[in-house]
Structure 1
Amino acid sequence: MPGAIRRDYGARAAPQTLPERMDGETDYETFRATLSSLASVNRLTSGYAPIRAFLDQVLERGLPERPLRLLDLGSGYGDGLRAAARYLSERGVRAELTGVDLNPHAAMAAREAQDTEHEGVTISYVTADVFDYAQRAPQPDLVTCALFTHHLEDEEVVRLLSWMDRTASRGWLVNDLYRSRVAAAGFRVLSTLLGKHPYVRHDGPVSFARSFRRADWDRYLSEAKVEGARIFIGAPFRLCVEKHA
């Protein structure tokens, strides 16, 4: 982990050359405890602000007569979907939210953590490879992903952007990290002081090393032939990309 902080932050670290512990096989309890710990960090650092702002803009543009369909990629613990469900329910929006994650532990952990119902909004979880599921999924109105793209190699990010742009009928949002040595070191200190799970303390700096700057997203969008997307800081050390149809 210290090596992740000391490395050159001018270029993104490829995931295959700088693995996270959560990328490997873990038992269920370790997986659940790690993502629960990470969710608490997300709450502390306003990590859900981008999805709320994105949904605000979607609501301003009007809604379909049927329930709004949102697909969340790499949904993990489901905390982002629960934040979206709460936000939509409070505004009286009917919606069907679906989370897809490759890890077989994710759906179970997310369902266990879902301790409240959100009126008018349903959440379901699917265990699948994102790209395989994309071929058979019902067309979503919205596609979102948070802290997911830094797990992908560059060519996979381009492929994902291209698919989202073709598929999401009303828009999409990528919410990920801004690559910064200061953020990586600060995360390490904060997560240690707060007694977060050892995997979180290790993987946080690695995630920052594998994350992005504006030039990366400019290149990916160009290669994916996506026009009209916006790149912006959505929360502290969060670099987001969104497009509204």
Structure 2
Amino acid sequence: MRLFAQRSKDKELMDDLNCSGEELVQTLRELRTINRWLGGNYVTTNGLAEIIKKDPQNSFFIADIGCGGGDMIRVMDDWAKSKKKALNFVGVDANKNIIDLAAVRLADMPNVTWRVGNVFDGEFSEEKVDISTCTLFTHHFTDSELVGLLKSLRAKSRLGIVINDLHRHWFAYYSILVLTKLFSKSKMVQNDASLSVLRSFTKTEWIKILHSAGFENFEISWHWAFRWQVTIIF
């Protein structure tokens, strides 16, 4: 279908770095529920496990890029505790309002620090980490921007990168469109959820982007519900 032939260039409401207030709080709350019920969290922790088993050690420093409300950081921390691994995190997001909310929501986690930062700033890659993770983040950028982002993540990360993002597919689009219209109370979620599918990727597109960024060794696997896991191990 023509609607799904190529990535949409339309901007999401979430792309406004000044978004704040109750609408943002409601949006982050609903996104947490959507990810939990549709199984998307597993894609990130599974990729993390693949990298960690290649270089076993007791603790790892993880940068969660585009961390949003911090939900994935808590998911990764709970997973690590179940595996008797210690993780320290830095949550990075360009929206200060989101970082402020995340810091409150995860105030019980002393192993997390927070950064308001732009991934395209030269200083972004100066703080080195073991692993960088991106969950539902990469679809916010054009292909050319993603090439730059991936190069920056390569410079930042010692062991690897885990990307968890959407598969552009008609079933994913119409399913989330209907679900959010029926159950969402957030105008941002109602607008962005289906649009994010249109901005997301096919496997062929991911391969092209990764090659353009200079990566040859990577794994791309499909997971329910319509998620791509891109794992890059150095």
**What TM-score do the two structures reach when normalised by structure 1?**
0.88
SS in 2 for 1:8: helix
* 1:6-155 equivalent positions in 2, closer than 5 A: 8-14=3-9, 18-24=10-16, 25-64=18-57, 67-114=59-106, 116-117=108-109, 122-132=111-121, 135=124, 137-155=126-144
Partner of 1:3: none
Contact 2:173 2:197 in 1 (8 A): yes
Contact 1:73 1:101 in 2 (8 A): yes
**Count, aligned residues:** 233
Structure 1 Cα separation of the partners of residues 74 and 233 of structure 2: 22
Contact 1:184 1:208 in 2 (8 A): yes
Partner of 1:167: 156
Structure 2 Cα separation of the partners of residues 51 and 182 of structure 1: 22
How many Å apart are 1:187 and its aligned residue?
0.1
SS in 2 for 1:141: strand
1:8 maps to amino acid: L
Structure 1 Cα separation of the partners of residues 3 and 154 of structure 2: 32
Structure 1 Cα separation of the partners of residues 80 and 122 of structure 2: 25
Contact 2:125 2:156 in 1 (8 A): no
Q: Which runs of 5+ in 1 are unaligned?
A: 1-5
After TM superposition, the runs of 4+ consecutive aligned structure 1 residues lying more than 6 A away are none
Contact 1:69 1:140 in 2 (8 A): yes
Residues 115-156 of structure 1 show CA distances to partners (whole Å, capped at 9, x for unaligned) of: 644xxx711211111222754542111011011111111111
Contact 2:119 2:152 in 1 (8 A): no
Q: Using the aligned pairs only, state the percent identity.
A: 27
Q: Which runs of 5+ in 2 are unaligned?
A: none
Is 1:184 the equivalent of 2:176?
Answer: no
How many Å apart are 1:13 and its aligned residue?
1.2
2:139 maps to amino acid: H
Aligned-residue Cα RMSD (Å) equals: 1.9
Cα gap change, 1:115 to 1:167, in 2 (>3 Å): closer
